[in-house]
Amino acid sequence: MSRIVVVSNRVALPQKSGGSAGGLAVAVNAALKDKGGIWFGWSGRVAPEPSDAPEVTHRAGITYAVIDLTGEDYQEYYNGFANRVLWPVLHYRADLAEFSRADLSGYMRVNRMFADHLARILKPDDIVWIHDYHMMPLARHLRERGHMNRMGFFLHIPMPPADIIQAVPQHAQTVGALAHYDLVGFQTDGDRDNFARYLEFSGGRITPDGTGCDIGGRQVTLGTFPVAIETAAFARRARHAHRTRYVKAFRESLSDRKLIIGVDRLDYSKGIPNRFDAYEHFLRTVPEWHDRVSYVQITPKSRTDVPEYQEMDRDVSHKAGQINGAYSDVTWTPLRYVNRTYSRSALAGFYRVADAAMVTPLRDGMNLVAKEFVAAQDPCDPGVLVLSQFAGAAAELGAGALLVNPHDTESMAAALKRALEMPLAERRERHSRMMRVLEARDIDHWAEAFLEALVPEETSARRAIAL
């Protein structure tokens, strides 16, 4: 039976599992849990010298193999090209891109270094599954080293239209290098179609159904695989966490006020300032809700060495201070803005006791907070999801969430009011519509669907063995 070798920049090392991991680490961890496999990536450490060999840990069927980055790698590859060019441009923010040739060459160097380490690990029939924008050219480097394995790539973040992709300087070397995979997977059909158009502009021939491309003598399959959660396990976790002393104390601290919750890494793509503006508008225009609601925004700091994130940090803290200054009373704080991380269990409990969640990114590949919030609800008395139309999750949860445009402050404030005042029957109806989707397409379904598309024969052979 073939091994699955997963590669990503961020690895959810077992000793480090906490609430701060982004969507990728959470999803890959859940997907590998039952299948086992090797997970190769960055240790999260910066060291004076490059690693000679990966540091290996085995835990519950998963082999974690991680390497350190040097200060130069961290600066040029991670902070630089990945997080100051690819991240903003692919989130439709080409205006924020800060490009330098040194950063691009650092990005290519680290990808080659990953390929060198992997070349020593890979066996000919391993299935290689590479994740996210840090590793776009990796298949090309592996192919150059003679590895002809099946290789799939999944992009966790959005793929914008071709003319925005072209704002990435030297995009053919990075985004264009995705053509060296056998399968490239996206969160939504829109993302997939955008990439297909880009390949077409780059000389590719797209199949009439839009799911294949013939480019440079190679065949690439394009697919949509919306990333998911462990629906049943997360719901169980929330039921349990809800009864813990910690979550009870949190609920009691709100003194019977309604709770609005937001949980996001501190990132400009998440639209936190827009959300704060909407909450401020709500407080200003709906005074009858004063002292009857608390909004808790949990926001672990992220990528703190990147200047755009430092600026964002200052702006968001400033706005939070202004809202509390204007509306607080000695016995009521309308907004609790919290820059720390919580365990996944604590978050599950917080979601369960919340009356509404604000998940309103300006752009998001998927957004697993939206899905986890829904899974964590009590189906008899569920909270309401206010969801940005620009989150990938809107494609699946649009029938149950209150969809909003995060640029429209007044409509967002109106959606918030509607969420807090929604009758029980409507809340139940909306929640059950969303739960049906989350139950039908959980994380196992996601991983199976991707692997099936990548290696159809192998997956059916594995099924035959399992039977």
363 forms part of the interface with ligand G6P (CB under 6 A): no
CB of 37 to ligand G6P, least distance (A): 18
Q: Nearest-CB residue to ligand G6P? A: 22
Q: Which of 122, 157, 348, 438 binds ligand G6P (CB under 6 A)?
A: 157
Candidates 18-26, 180-188, 202-210, 293-301: pick the segment binding ligand G6P (CB under 6 A): 18-26
CB of 314 to ligand G6P, least distance (A): 20
Candidates 23-31, 191-199, 241-249, 422-430: pick the segment binding ligand G6P (CB under 6 A): 23-31
Task: Please state, in angstroms and rounded to a whole number, the distance separating the CA atoms of residues 361 and 405.
Answer: 9
Closest to ligand G6P by CB, 87 or 279: 87
Half-sphere exposure of 373 (CA within 13 A, CB side): 24
Bridge partners, residue 206, by sequence = 213
Q: Is 118 helix (H, G, I), strand (E, B) or coil?
A: helix
Phi, psi of 44 (to 5 degrees): 90, 0
How many other C-beta atoms lie within 10 A of the C-beta of residue 355?
A: 20
Evaluated on CA atoms 193, 195, 199, 200, the torsion sign reads positive
Task: Report yes or no: 399 and 445 within 8 Å, Cβ to Cβ.
Answer: no
What letter does residue 16 receive in the DSSP assignment? G
371 forms part of the interface with ligand G6P (CB under 6 A): no
Closest to ligand G6P by CB, 275 or 303: 303
How many other C-beta atoms lie within 10 A of the C-beta of residue 453?
A: 19
Candidates 20-28, 235-243, 401-409, 410-418: pick the segment binding ligand G6P (CB under 6 A): 20-28
26 forms part of the interface with ligand G6P (CB under 6 A): no
88 forms part of the interface with ligand G6P (CB under 6 A): no
CB of 194 to ligand G6P, least distance (A): 17
Task: Please state, in angstroms and rounded to a whole number, the distance separating the CA atoms of residues 228 and 46.
Answer: 31
Q: Is 357 helix (H, G, I), strand (E, B) or coil?
A: strand
DSSP H helix total and E strand total for the chain: 18, 16
Closest to ligand G6P by CB, 184 or 293: 184
The residue annotated as part of the active site, out of 156, 180, 242, 431, is 156
339 forms part of the interface with ligand G6P (CB under 6 A): no
CB of 28 to ligand G6P, least distance (A): 10
Question: One-letter amino acid identity for 232?
Answer: A
24 forms part of the interface with ligand G6P (CB under 6 A): yes
Q: Which of 10, 240, 257, 281 binds ligand G6P (CB under 6 A)?
A: 10
Candidates 16-24, 116-124, 184-192, 447-455: pick the segment binding ligand G6P (CB under 6 A): 16-24
Q: Provide DSSP, 391-423.
A: BTTHHHHTTTSEEE-TT-HHHHHHHHHHHHH--
Draw the binding track, 181-200, toward ligand G6P (x: CB under 6 A; -: no contact). --------------------
Candidates 21-29, 113-121, 278-286, 292-300: pick the segment binding ligand G6P (CB under 6 A): 21-29
Q: Which of 22, 161, 212, 398 binds ligand G6P (CB under 6 A)?
A: 22
412 forms part of the interface with ligand G6P (CB under 6 A): no
How many other C-beta atoms lie within 10 A of the C-beta of residue 279?
A: 26
CA-wise closest residue to 103 among 126, 127, 79, 123: 79
Query: Taking CB under 6 A as the criterion, which residues in 95-134 touch ligand G6P?
Result: 132
Q: Is 156 a catalytic residue?
A: yes
Task: Report yes or no: 14 and 64 within 8 Å, Cβ to Cβ.
Answer: yes
Q: Provide DSSP, 282-335.
A: HHHH-GGGTTSEEEEEE-----TTSHHHHHHHHHHHHHHHHHHHHH-BTTB-SE
Query: Taking CB under 6 A as the criterion, which residues in 285-324 touch ligand G6P?
Result: 302-303
How many other C-beta atoms lie within 10 A of the C-beta of residue 406?
A: 27
Closest to ligand G6P by CB, 157 or 385: 157
Q: Which of 91, 117, 141, 156 binds ligand G6P (CB under 6 A)?
A: 156
Q: Is 407 a catalytic residue?
A: no
Q: Which of 2, 6, 23, 356 binds ligand G6P (CB under 6 A)?
A: 23
Q: Mind telling me the catalytic residues?
A: 156, 364
Contact set with ligand G6P (CB under 6 A): 10, 22-25, 132, 156-157, 302-303
